[in-house]
Amino acid sequence: MTPRLGLPDLGVGVGLRVPHYRHILDTRPAVDFFEVISENFMLPGGKPRYHLSAVRETYRVVQHGVSLGIGNPTAPADDYLRSLRELVRETKTPWVSDHLCWTGVPGVNLHDLLPLPYTDEVVEKVSERAKRVQDTLGVRLLLENTSSYMTHTSSTMPEWEFVSAIAEAADIGLLFDVNNVYVSAYNHGFDPSEYVRNVPHERIVQIHLAGHDNLGKYIIDTHGGHVVDPVWELYRETIELTGAVSTLIEWDDRIPDFPVLAAEAERARRIRDEALTARAPGSPRPSRPRMGVPVPSARVTERRGWAQGGPREHDGDAP
């Protein structure tokens, strides 16, 4: 299979988190790759860099960031990009990912992944910034769709059209978070399958899967539990459309013992393999009902004013 955007399929991996360091280094478990939070390793020396170097002796590592702020009022700072580029050179990550969102204003980091207005003006601004970031880092940039808990009245297009327009205009890749699609669909009352069908599948380089907390009227993307069955089905649907894409299990809250995380990754591998078999030439296409809207749209009105941005991804081993 030809690598998408010239990038490899790394298989199925998990996030590298502090509680698992000793188990990973002692047992070298069968994991295809680890994803690291870039900001936790962007200072020289210390325990974080020691553990990163030790993991890299055995495993491929990819970088995922939480502070780029591609949609902030001001562009990403030069000193941040220089530090990020230095880490890229050390890890030899095949790509760098961050979120399609805003995270603060000059002098204030809100430590949240906040949604942008879906307008042509924002598409133009963000795509120009994404081109610059990609050129500066020297590797492909991926932007991730975030979960959201509020909408902007100024938006003129659905989220999937906004995400697609930026990826095409900037010639970047997508980190497609299937759980975030489901969470936002539940919170805002749209069809998650429509989102999956209407993004440029050839630009999806990596997929995220995670657990969430369903509080009845809304879902919060906590990364604090097992992936739920509807998200697994949405992942299957995605792989049938995209083909083989590097897939990662995120588990950042209420972190379990490593074998539990590894078992979740193995479930992702089984579903991925089944979906790839289903899309192979000559294979009968499975007949499954469309998922549809996961929550009555009437509930959306009750949540219009709830301006919560959701939890940032983190790792306790900050430099």
Q: What does 286-301 look like in DSSP terms, one character per residue?
A: P-------SS-THHHH
Residue 94 · residue 246 · CB < 8 Å = no
Averaged pLDDT, 182-187: 98
Q: Give the pLDDT score at 165.
A: 98
> pLDDT tens digits, residue range 266-284?
999 999 999 999 987 755 5
State the residue for tokens 């030809």.
Answer: 2
List of residues 6+ apart from 139 with CB closer than 8 A: 88, 93, 94, 95, 96
CA distance 31 to 12: 7
Going 204 to 208 to 214 to 217, the CA torsion angle's sign is negative
pLDDT over 70 percentage in the chain: 87
Residue 311 · residue 221 · CB < 8 Å = yes
Q: What is the DSSP string of 26-90?
A: HH--S-SEEEEEGGGG-SSSHHHHHHHHHHHTTSEEEEE-S---TTSSSPPPHHHHHHHHHHHHH
Residue 69 · residue 126 · CB < 8 Å = no
Q: Give the pLDDT score at 109.
A: 79
Q: Give the pLDDT score at 26.
A: 97
Taking the CA atoms of the chain, what radius of gyration do you get in angstroms? Answer: 19
Q: Give the pLDDT score at 163.
A: 98
- Confidence grade of residue 285 (pLDDT, cut at 50, 70, 90): low
**Under CATH, which number does the domain 12-303 receive?**
3.20.20.150
- CA nearest neighbour of 192 among 214, 213, 176, 175: 176
Residue 93 · residue 139 · CB < 8 Å = yes
Residue 67 · residue 39 · CB < 8 Å = yes
Averaged pLDDT, 74-87: 96
Q: Which amino acid is at 122?
A: V
CA distance 17 to 156: 39
Q: Give the pLDDT score at 309.
A: 38
Residue 142 · residue 96 · CB < 8 Å = yes
State the residue for tokens 């990754």.
Answer: 265
User: Pick the residue with more confidence: 310 or 286?
Assistant: 286
Q: Is the pLDDT of residue 55 over 90?
A: yes
Q: Give the pLDDT score at 315.
A: 52
Q: Give the pLDDT score at 107.
A: 81
In the chain, where are the structural domains located? 12-303
Q: Give the pLDDT score at 3.
A: 60
Following CA atoms 48, 53, 57, 62 in sequence, which dihedral angle do they give, to the nearest 10 degrees? 70
Measured in degrees and rounded to the nearest 5, phi and psi for residue 135 equal -65, -40
| Pairing of β 219-220 and β 213-214 | antiparallel
List of residues 6+ apart from 276 with CB closer than 8 A: 239, 243, 244
Mean pLDDT of the chain: 90
> pLDDT tens digits, residue range 84-139?
999 999 999 999 999 999 998 888 777 889 999 999 999 999 999 999 999 999 99
Following CA atoms 194, 4, 165, 170 in sequence, which dihedral angle do they give, to the nearest 10 degrees? 160
